Structure 1
Amino acid sequence: MLTLGEYNRITSNSKSIKYKASISLLWESGCRICEILTLKIKEIAMEDNSMILGVSGKTADRVIFIIGDSIAYLGEYL
């Protein structure tokens, strides 16, 4: 588990927007790595200040609301 300081260091030192988006999504959503890696573009709904993810988990499908850095990182990456 990462601390807030570790999360900030990783995202600020990463040169790849792909890695920033991935780390931010993991941090802000609480999803498992496999849930983020198997996420499809059609399962992401982006608004101005929020994002909705439809993830298929180990036990069930669920909807996750995101507000934070992930929106900007993922928007830049896509």
Structure 2
Amino acid sequence: MQVIVRDNNVDQALRALKKKLQREGVFREMKARAAYEKPSERRTREKAEAVRRMRKLARKKAQREGLLPKPGRAR
């Protein structure tokens, strides 16, 4: 991973690096590896993540087909 420092602005480069690491999921991975996760807990977590992904996909599909209102700002 590479971040360009412009005009000796290290703070801006550090923010860009943190954003890239966050997007890649490095912080989540570090937190997950910090402590041992039992196989049963891992399976439970992975199933929950899959369910969340599928619900999100179904919600987006319903919005595209016009069955649900598109998310917008509250009025």
TM-score (normalizing by structure 1) = 0.24
Which structure's residues are more often helix, by fraction? 2
Which structure shows the bigger proportion of residues in strand conformation? 1
TM-score (norm 2): 0.25
- With a CA cutoff of 8 Å and minimum separation of 6, indicate the structure with the bigger relative contact order: 1
